[in-house]
């Protein structure tokens, strides 16, 4: 980890000390709690189960009989594999809303810890961690990129270099909420590219994309395509939360 990343971690810890309050409900906790979550919130979250989609990593119900979720059976993806920690629900939504829209950037360190623990269950190895970028105007308004904080934390835990400037968002896109799969695809077509200022080698590298949430995979696909066109050898994606596997009604 570079000097900047170490300084960033120290500054975040000084401003927002870890393990004092539950990052979800705000109750007082001790420093033994995983991800700074109290026991009640740990139980409320929909954590990874034994059965997941073999392509994108979405959590599947025990009675679902296909190895792929409905989306992955219907659409091809540009990435090789996807992984996740929790299924997106009421409590997961509240946590991510606090993280992204209410200025609670310190939550990202704990989500980065969750990503590290999730990937420790896999035999995959990677050369670079690449956070999904935000458009510079949107990041300036928010003050930080949520994927970047998570990626830096995971880099510190794993020792894998983090490349926050490798991908760039070339243009602002419409909000993804309410868009269907095809609309999301069109919205993100050509939105990402490798930055001309990138100094990280990409050719043949194994890259892990970092994001806060995975829904249809359109963002992961657009980023993966840009990386593949630049010569990446393998591209996987890990998110803290993922959408549910919802087959269409018959």
Q: Check residue 138 and give its pLDDT.
A: 86
Determine, yes or no, domain membership for 69.
yes
Q: Check residue 11 and give its pLDDT.
A: 64
The string of pLDDT tens digits covering residues 173-215 is 656 566 666 666 667 777 889 999 999 999 999 999 999 999 9
Q: Check residue 9 and give its pLDDT.
A: 54
Domain containing residue 125: CATH number: 3.40.50.2020
Q: Check residue 1 and give its pLDDT.
A: 43
Determine, yes or no, domain membership for 214.
yes
Determine, yes or no, domain membership for 41.
no
Q: Check residue 17 and give its pLDDT.
A: 61
Determine, yes or no, domain membership for 179.
yes
Determine, yes or no, domain membership for 158.
yes
Residuewise pLDDT in 10s, the chain (250 residues): 445 545 555 665 565 565 688 999 999 998 888 899 999 999 999 998 889 999 999 999 889 999 999 999 998 999 999 999 999 999 999 999 999 999 899 999 999 999 999 999 999 999 999 999 998 888 899 999 999 999 999 999 999 999 999 999 886 665 656 666 666 666 777 788 999 999 999 999 999 999 999 998 999 999 999 999 999 999 999 999 999 988 766 5
Number of domains in the chain: 1
Determine, yes or no, domain membership for 212.
yes
Residues 6+ apart with CB under 8 A from 213: 88, 96, 239, 240, 241, 242, 243
Task: Measure the CA–CA gap between 49 and 46, rounded to whole angstroms.
Answer: 8
Determine, yes or no, domain membership for 25.
no
Range of the domain at 234: 46-242
Q: Check residue 31 and give its pLDDT.
A: 80
Report pTM.
Answer: 0.88
List Cα–Cα distances, 197 to 16, 163, 165, 225, 247, in angstroms. Answer: 32, 12, 8, 19, 42
Determine, yes or no, domain membership for 15.
no
Q: Given the structure tokens 């939360």, which residue do they identify?
A: 241
Where b means 16+ CB within 10 Å and e means fewer, 8-26 reads: bbeebeeebebeeebbbee
Q: Check residue 208 and give its pLDDT.
A: 99
């Amino acid at each position: 980890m570079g000097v900047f990343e170490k300084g960033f971690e120290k500054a975040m810890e000084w401003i927002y000390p870890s393990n004092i309050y539950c990052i979800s409900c705000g109750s007082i906790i001790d420093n033994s709690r995983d991800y700074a979550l109290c026991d009640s919130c740990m139980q409320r979250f929909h954590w990874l189960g034994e059965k997941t989609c073999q392509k994108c990593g979405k959590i599947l119900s025990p009675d679902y009989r296909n190895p792929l979720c409905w989306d992955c059976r219907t659409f091809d993806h540009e990435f090789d594999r996807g992984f996740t920690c929790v299924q997106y629900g009421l409590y997961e939504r509240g946590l991510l809303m606090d993280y992204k829209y209410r200025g609670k950037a310190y939550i990202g360190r704990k989500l980065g810890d969750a990503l590290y623990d999730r990937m420790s269950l896999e035999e995959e190895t990677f050369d670079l961690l690449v956070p999904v970028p935000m458009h510079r105007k949107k990041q300036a308004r928010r003050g930080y990129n949520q994927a970047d904080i998570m990626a830096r934390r995971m880099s510190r835990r794993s020792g894998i270099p983090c490349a926050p400037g490798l991908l760039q968002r070339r243009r602002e896109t419409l909000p993804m909420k309410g868009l269907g799969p095809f609309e999301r695809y069109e919205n993100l077509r050509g939105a990402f590219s490798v930055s001309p200022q990138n100094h990280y080698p990409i050719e043949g590298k194994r890259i892990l994309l970092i994001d806060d949430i995975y829904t249809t995979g359109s963002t992961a696909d657009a980023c993966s395509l840009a990386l593949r066109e630049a010569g990446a050898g393998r591209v996987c994606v890990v998110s803290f939360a993922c959408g549910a596997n919802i087959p269409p009604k018959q």
